[in-house]
Amino acid sequence: MLRVVVPLPRVSPDLRRFLSTEAGSAILLLAAAVAALIWANVPGWTSYETVWSTIASIRIGNWSLTLDVRHWINDAAMAIFFLVVGLEVSREVSVGELRSVRAVAAPALGAVGGLAVPAVLYAVVNHGGAGAHGWGIPISTDTAFLVGVLALFGPRCPDRLRLFLLTLAIVDDIGAIIVLGVSYTRRVSVTALVIAGVLTLVLVALRWLGVWRLTPYVLVGIALWLAVQASGVHPTLAGVLVGLLVPAAAPVDAAQGERIRVFGRALIERADPGRARLAVAAVRAAVPANDRMQEALHPLSAYVVVPAFGLANAGVHLDGQVLRTAATSAVTIGVIVGLLAGNAVGITAGATIALRTGLAALPGGVRYGHVVGGAVLAGIGFTISLFITDLAFQTAELRDQAKIGVLTGSLLAAVFGSALLRYLGDRLPLCTLDDETVIPALPPLPWRDPAVPA
């Protein structure tokens, strides 16, 4: 019988579900990236750019919104991805694994180092060159790929290390989002920004009033996306704001359980649409809006939006001239050095400072060597790196050089990081026999929660 080892104590079911979805997303994202590269290099490869450059519009009366297909994915669909990131950050800070300062300090300071050092190394390599504006490309760790590679090729019993790296990736995402908003905004409309600010205050009011229905948050969120898009700031930031402001804590209401009992009993006594509606509403009101929104959107983000983004952005036409240019390009070299060396050095240094000063403690079973190996693996920068590439450069030549750097650097980080963690996992096991439970292995399904028995 196939055997799987499950470490105890386990992380929370919500976090385990998030990690499982991200691991599945990584496989689809990798397949989409490979498909994009094949598509961009087969006979008729020009169809790749033709498809993604096709213009699509939404028009209502005299109002219209026109983008090409690639930017509908990058600007609109990816807002869902950033919304899910914001939801996860909000939940972990409010009720999850990030409530403890000591638990957060090491990965948080590591993430700060992983933001700063890659940017500095890239800037040094590209100082005064045409690619200098691309310094933000190597700063971000791809959460889906990081979790997926760790699950597929990492050490045995990786849950504790996985939690450390997920925390690091979340803080890293916050930093990358700030960089997107501050440094890669080309024009600003003050009027649209004011409207966006007012809509953000509306979201704050909804949260303060304890509104538990998702519809108001969704409607205000759509309006906020339109305002941010019109302002010139990248519209995906609207997704982050909505995710951070949707309530993550369960409503404090002593009568909630009694309402569920009363409406449930009434439905049992006589099943009719009105009683069913009241019973369903009572149950939904007891579940945080954050959890309900994440349950609805995370699979869509992981299994549709992120792979579509990879398919639309990872395609690079590779001929001899392009490869020769990339081999000596400061942009390509800067991205590779930033992703691989920058993250390894920056994350290790930041985490070391937190540990040596006593600000932080590592989760049980995680050793300093695992942090170093995880820092190398965190050099996988795909989704947001390609995202910033599209914003940083106006010419196809520089974008292609940066994409080659992202693909190469991420591949090297995945290989070296996995090998190092495998080696360290054998010498410094993350679990002991007392921490293990043997269960029959079942194939994971994207619509099943692995924490819930079949």
pLDDT tens for each residue of 111-145: 999 999 999 999 999 988 889 999 999 998 887 77
pLDDT tens for each residue of 192-214: 999 999 999 999 999 988 888 88
Please state which of the ranges 41-50, 136-145, 212-221 shows the lowest mean pLDDT.
Answer: 136-145
Which position has the higher pLDDT, 249 or 342? 342
Give the three-state DSSP class for 289: helix
Please provide the average confidence, as pLDDT, over all residues in the chain. 81
Q: Where are the domains of the chain?
A: 10-184+234-250+287-433
Q: How far is CA 426 from the centre of its chain?
A: 29
The full DSSP string for 10-65 is PPPHHHHHHHHHHHHHHHHHHHHHHHHHHHTTSTTTHHHHHHHT-EEEEEETTEEE
**What residues are paired with 56 via a beta bridge?**
67
pLDDT tens for each residue of 309-355: 889 888 888 888 888 988 999 999 999 999 999 999 999 999 999 98
Mean pLDDT of 93-104: 73
Q: Which residue spans within 44-195 are E strands per DSSP?
A: 55-60, 63-68
pLDDT of residue 120: 95
DSSP state of 338: I
Distances (CA, A) of 187 to 194, 202, 230: 15, 25, 10
Mean pLDDT of 34-44: 91
Report residue 57: phi and psi, to 5°: -130, 150
Show Cβ contacts of residue 147 under 8 Å, excluding neighbours closer than 6 positions.
Answer: 19, 22, 23, 26, 162, 165, 166, 169
pLDDT tens for each residue of 294-310: 888 988 988 899 899 88
d(CA 233, CA 19): 30
**What residues are paired with 66 via a beta bridge?**
57
Residue the block writes with tokens 């942090």 = 371
Q: With cut-offs at 50, 70 and 90, classify the pLDDT of residue 7.
A: very low
pLDDT of residue 1: 35
Q: With cut-offs at 50, 70 and 90, classify the pLDDT of residue 87.
A: confident
Mean pLDDT of 84-107: 78
DSSP state of 81: H
d(CA 168, CA 355): 15
Residue the block writes with tokens 């050099």 = 379
pLDDT of residue 21: 66
| Residue 31 pLDDT exceeds 80 | yes
pLDDT of residue 218: 94
| Residue 288 pLDDT exceeds 50 | yes
| Residue 47 pLDDT exceeds 50 | yes
Q: With cut-offs at 50, 70 and 90, classify the pLDDT of residue 287.
A: confident
| Residue 430 pLDDT exceeds 80 | no
CATH 3.40.50.10800 holds for 10-184+234-250+287-433: no
pLDDT of residue 212: 84
Q: With cut-offs at 50, 70 and 90, classify the pLDDT of residue 167.
A: confident
Please state which of the ranges 58-67, 177-186, 280-289 shows the lowest mean pLDDT.
Answer: 280-289
